[in-house]
A = this chain, B = another copy of it.
């Protein structure tokens, strides 16, 4: 018996449509297909797919996992994974947000993000393959030549093939400048390259979901400069593909082994050996990292969504268990005197665990969907200034989403397991699988520490905080709008206070960092979390404003979550503010 999962359609619609107000934005951006009734149908169908197809194989995916036949280099995914992929493709899900011209359905990325949350929650091991495929779509869409789009991108959008991102090597993880994989111009003169080297930690590097796998591989050309300025990006398919798009013979690459991991057992994590494999350059020589960043930003939001999905599933189960499990009596007297004991939800410490789970989940959903909406604006707006603003804002939000939502998923899956007590530690309840699965999310696609350095070092200091100013503008506008609304003062005043302090801390850090670059490393992680907690305060306040405007009573769940967030989570900034003060000893 694994954990149950009920797709949170009401919560998704409340966040995306009621609070964020995505519908008019979609209309303005020209998403002709994204009418409300079509989007509602998409969400309903996605929910049905996750519940009926993915949830039933999430437990077996963990217990059986993937296996490698060393003699052939072929990977077998868990029972049911391939059939689920076929159903996914038949439903048109693989091209949900891709352009119609390439066979996609042209739905907004932010709607796609809501769908991803459900896929991730239902079966992270399975959904992880689609994450990388989506990253490959983005890179090919933005940087591929026309024939590459036809030959490689269209089949990936169709779901016939899948994509991967091959970055890491044993000596080159975060520091891609150290990578050694080589690309030499092919002697045949057909414009292709021979790719040789070893890549590790390749999600979906080998699997049996599709007949071909399109690897996007970072490698060095013979004359490339050292470091990150000498890295190029190549398309290297498992089976060679001609410029006519026809799949030919096996290419010179092979899965050498798969990792045995703490979790996400359904997702294959491969060591890939490239031995003179035929590859095709994407974009300009030595500009591979630029193209890869396109994939990485998409992937970072997507990993944040993984965190969200796990949080929601863990929270649902913990709430159910806390209402069912009878132990002890409320301190203020039996609440269910006719039962042998009260349900454990009457106990303060249990309520606090659940409150943390609920408020982080609900806040995270608004934060990430709003970030995903910036992707839609960047891709579709015809207004240069709006696009530039969205670009800055997204650059600022991406490390926050990636780092905070994944760290919170570790916390929430921890708390939810704790609600179960000893039952949470045994495999049967499925809670420990959520905790094991969550543990990778703070690592891959750039660790929390890397996100923090990206946020403070690059987005705040190098780019002079332009994205943060966009966000501060949103907060200020909201606070001004709500100034006359007395019911909202309990949210708006602490939000304004935390935001003001955040701005002051930022200026202070910037001043100190100008004289001492090590200050960035010392402040980065605390600053990132401070930012995340302020961002969630903004979204909870907006949710409260939305609910209040709709006539919510005091027992409205959105008001309760917002109140709980301000009471118990936002105060975490008090410690972070102390840590960010200049007079603290350095470590």
- CB contacts (< 8 Å) of A525 on chain B: these are 349, 352
Q: How far is the CB of A574 from chain B (nearest CB, A)?
A: 4
With an 8 A cutoff between CB atoms, is A187 at the interface? no
Contact of A348 among B327, B341, B520 (CB under 8 A): B520
Q: Select the stretch in A66-74, A92-100, A152-160, A422-430 that faces chain B.
A: A422-430
Q: Please report the C-alpha to C-alpha distance between residue A172 and residue B262 in the assembled complex, in whole angstroms.
A: 31
Q: Please report the C-alpha to C-alpha distance between residue A331 and residue B516 in the assembled complex, in whole angstroms.
A: 9
With an 8 A cutoff between CB atoms, is A518 at the interface? yes
- CB contacts (< 8 Å) of A435 on chain B: these are 262, 439
With an 8 A cutoff between CB atoms, is A584 at the interface? yes
- CB contacts (< 8 Å) of A521 on chain B: these are 331, 347-349, 351
Q: How far is the CB of A525 from chain B (nearest CB, A)?
A: 5
CB neighbors of B among A321-348 (8 A): 326-328, 330-332, 340-341, 347-348
B443 with A171: CB separation less than 8 A: no
B428 with A443: CB separation less than 8 A: no
B428 with A260: CB separation less than 8 A: yes
With an 8 A cutoff between CB atoms, is A31 at the interface? no
Chain A 410-435 near chain B by CB (<8 Å), digits 1 or 0: 10001001100110111110001001
- CB contacts (< 8 Å) of A355 on chain B: these are 587
Q: How far is the CB of A180 from chain B (nearest CB, A)?
A: 10
A332-B517, A575-B575 known; A340 and B178 CB under 8 Å? yes
- CB contacts (< 8 Å) of A457 on chain B: these are 331
Q: Select the stretch in A138-146, A205-213, A248-256, A564-572 that faces chain B.
A: A564-572
B421 with A328: CB separation less than 8 A: no
B425 with A261: CB separation less than 8 A: yes
With an 8 A cutoff between CB atoms, is A563 at the interface? yes
B449 with A424: CB separation less than 8 A: no
Q: How far is the CB of A533 from chain B (nearest CB, A)?
A: 10
With an 8 A cutoff between CB atoms, is A375 at the interface? no
Which residue of B has the minimal Cβ distance to A457?
B331
Chain A 229-273 near chain B by CB (<8 Å), digits 1 or 0: 000000000000000000000000000000111110000010000
Q: How far is the CB of A226 from chain B (nearest CB, A)?
A: 10
Q: Please report the C-alpha to C-alpha distance between residue A427 and residue B262 in the assembled complex, in whole angstroms.
A: 6
A410-B414, A425-B261, A435-B439 known; A327 and B178 CB under 8 Å? yes
Which residue of B has the minimal Cβ distance to A567?
B585
Q: How far is the CB of A425 from chain B (nearest CB, A)?
A: 5
A432-B439, A584-B568 known; A524 and B349 CB under 8 Å? yes
A424 with B452: CB separation less than 8 A: no
CB neighbors of B among A556-585 (8 A): 563-564, 566-568, 571-575, 577-579, 584-585
- The interface on chain A, measured as residues whose beta carbon lies within 8 A of the other chain's beta carbons, has a size of 83
Q: Please report the C-alpha to C-alpha distance between residue A518 and residue B332 in the assembled complex, in whole angstroms.
A: 6
With an 8 A cutoff between CB atoms, is A453 at the interface? yes
Which residue of B has the minimal Cβ distance to A528?
B349
B174 with A261: CB separation less than 8 A: no
Q: How far is the CB of A63 from chain B (nearest CB, A)?
A: 9
A585 with B566: CB separation less than 8 A: yes
With an 8 A cutoff between CB atoms, is A298 at the interface? no
Q: How far is the CB of A280 from chain B (nearest CB, A)?
A: 27
B571 with A572: CB separation less than 8 A: no
- CB contacts (< 8 Å) of A261 on chain B: these are 425-427, 432
With an 8 A cutoff between CB atoms, is A175 at the interface? yes
A260 with B173: CB separation less than 8 A: no
B340 with A426: CB separation less than 8 A: no
With an 8 A cutoff between CB atoms, is A442 at the interface? yes
Which residue of B has the minimal Cβ distance to A579?
B571
Which residue of B has the minimal Cβ distance to A578?
B571
A174 with B585: CB separation less than 8 A: no
With an 8 A cutoff between CB atoms, is A168 at the interface? yes
A444 with B422: CB separation less than 8 A: yes
A-side interface residues toward B, CB under 8 Å? 168, 171-175, 177-178, 200-201, 259-263, 269, 326-328, 330-332, 340-341, 347-353, 355, 410, 414, 417-418, 421-422, 424-428, 432, 435-436, 439-440, 442-444, 447-449, 452-453, 457, 516-518, 520-525, 563-564, 566-568, 571-575, 577-579, 584-587
Q: Can you spell out 22 A-B residue pairs with CB atoms less than 8 angstroms apart?
A: A171-B326, A173-B422, A174-B327, A177-B341, A178-B327, A178-B340, A259-B427, A260-B426, A261-B427, A262-B432, A262-B435, A330-B518, A331-B518, A347-B449, A347-B521, A348-B523, A349-B525, A351-B587, A352-B587, A567-B585, A568-B584, A571-B575
Question: Which 8 residue pairs across A and B have the least CB separation, nearest first?
Answer: A348-B521, A349-B449, A262-B432, A571-B578, A567-B585, A175-B327, A331-B517, A575-B575
* Given A171-B326, A178-B341, 16 additional A-B pairs, CB 8 A: A173-B327, A261-B427, A261-B432, A262-B425, A262-B432, A347-B521, A348-B520, A348-B524, A352-B522, A352-B587, A418-B447, A418-B448, A422-B443, A422-B444, A425-B440, A571-B578
